[in-house]
Amino acid sequence: MDRLIITLLCTLCTLNTFAQSNKGFIITSDIPDLPEGIEVVLETAEGSNYDEVARAIVKDGKFEVVGRVTHPTLCTLSTNNYKLLYAMESKEEPTWTYTPIFVSNTEMVIKADKYKYLFSNLPISKHLRVTGGRAQEDFNDFNQRKNDSLTWMKQHPQSPLAIKMATEMVLNNRTLTKRQIEDITANIFACLDDYPRVQAYRRAVATAKAMAVGEALEDLSMYTQKNHLTSLLSAIPKDKVAFVCFWTTWRKSNQKLIPEFKKMIAKHPEVSFLCVADDKEDFLWQKFLEREQLLWPQYRLTKKGFKRFNEVYGQDATPFFAMLDPEGKIVRTSSYLAEMQKLLDKNAAKLTKQYEQKQKKKNVEQGDEDNDKKGKKKGELNDEGNDKKGKKKGELKDEGNEKKSKKDEQNDGDNDKKGKKKNEQKDKGKTKKEKKKA
């Protein structure tokens, strides 16, 4: 029964999303002194691309921005008088305002006491408020409460904003452990009116777990420079700090990293460095290595390894760097070599020393354990020897006593015979004496 109710709720969510998606959004203004003729532009504010969604011009003191989003999306609604001043050939400096707004396919209103309050660039204030849609309502609540993100997410597990924050948190914070990632994501529910964001969120969580601090890197099949098959985990040296660079050698942006990489290798002889390329052409890769004189271990992903790399870390993930401790666990991952260089300078020697001390302690404990086992075995052998010795001594004593007892029995028998014979002779003499007397 419970499962049926959940299924029906999810179906209703889906139908509601579909209806809203077809309807689209209408964003209107309620601002008394809005200047005539200024331009209003709505752009996405998520990710690295700021795509235009819709635009309008203020007419009769109002604007109406109409469009459609595939799912609730954080956007920026800007206003400017640039074109207006240009048309008027005015030398006045143009003005711009930026208002964050979480757009859903519904009716929304931007209300301000005066136009000047849009210049604060705030999502909400006592003079400015955006209304319309569940996502915007949650956005207002979060900005008013000023809670930390994790607390707010746990209180609003079905909010598109919670999903957005959770996705950014697990992707951007490379210091999280797998357990911390699971704690962040534990209360996020999938039955939302924002299915595309849920899918992106699930991919982000899987990627974050693969890069979590304290975990091993994903094992990937690779070729050596001599075209022999191997795997990433078998190529990473044991008992040393390791630095793994995933890159694409034909990309100019990746090639620019080589001088810095060479400096890092020269500076840290205690660290094992290796590069893994996602190049498809072996011949071009080999030529590149020969030309650049890259003398540290170089590998190239197989087709299977390349596919798995994209599944785990995403498309176009290179360059991507990972620092591992001597036990092969992730210390940190990053797409920025400068950041990793600082981390290596700060922690490589320390991690090496900690591992050596740990191994030394382990060897001492192992030695003590071996000595205990040796002593125990020696004690057992001594006890066994004493037992055997005691047993043998006891057996010999018993054997001696038995022989003595037999000898005593024999002596007693001889004495009995002797006494009997003496008595018989005595009786015989007595009889003869009596006969003679008679």
Closest CA relative to residue 44, chosen from 67, 22, 14, 28: 67
Quick one: pLDDT at residue 200? 84
User: Taking residues 418-432, what's their average pLDDT?
Assistant: 58
Q: What local confidence, expressed as pLDDT, does residue 399 receive?
A: 66
Residue 135 to residues 46, 58, 103, 104, 131, Cα–Cα distance (Å): 14, 26, 7, 7, 10
- From the list 159, 166, 163, 99, the residue with the least C-alpha distance to 134 is 159
Mean pLDDT of 130-137: 94
Q: Which residues contact 197 (CB under 8 A, 6 or more apart)?
A: 71, 72, 160, 163, 164, 167
Max mean pLDDT range (8-17, 118-127, 182-191)? 118-127
- Dump the DSSP string for 145-156: HT--HHHHHHH-
C-alpha to C-alpha distances, 360 to 62, 353, 365, 415, nearest whole angstrom: 76, 10, 9, 80
Mean pLDDT, residues 299-312 taken together: 95
91 contacts 10 by C-beta, under 8 angstroms: no
How many Å apart are CA 281 and CA 391, to the nearest integer? 80
Closest CA relative to residue 271, chosen from 296, 297, 242, 298: 242
Quote the pLDDT of residue 8.
40
Using the 8-state DSSP alphabet, how is residue 120 labeled?
A: G
**pLDDT of res. 406:** 62
Dist CA 36 CA 144 (whole Å): 31
Domains annotated for the chain, with CATH where assigned, are 20-114 (2.60.40.10), 221-350 (3.40.30.10)
Residue 365: per-residue pLDDT: 77
pLDDT number for residue 275: 96
Banded pLDDT at 218 (limits 50, 70, 90): very high
pTM: 0.67
% of the chain exceeding 70 in pLDDT: 77
Q: Copy the structure tokens of residue 281.
A: 């052409």
Cα angle, residue 81 at apex, residues 80 and 84 outer, rounded to 5° = 145
Is pLDDT larger for residue 31 or for residue 201? 31
Phi and psi torsions of 359, nearest 5°: -65, -40
Q: Is the pLDDT of residue 302 over 80?
A: yes
pLDDT in tens, 62-103: 999 999 999 999 999 999 999 888 888 888 899 999 999 999
pLDDT band at 298 (very low <50, low <70, confident <90, very high): very high
Position with higher pLDDT, 290 vs 364: 290
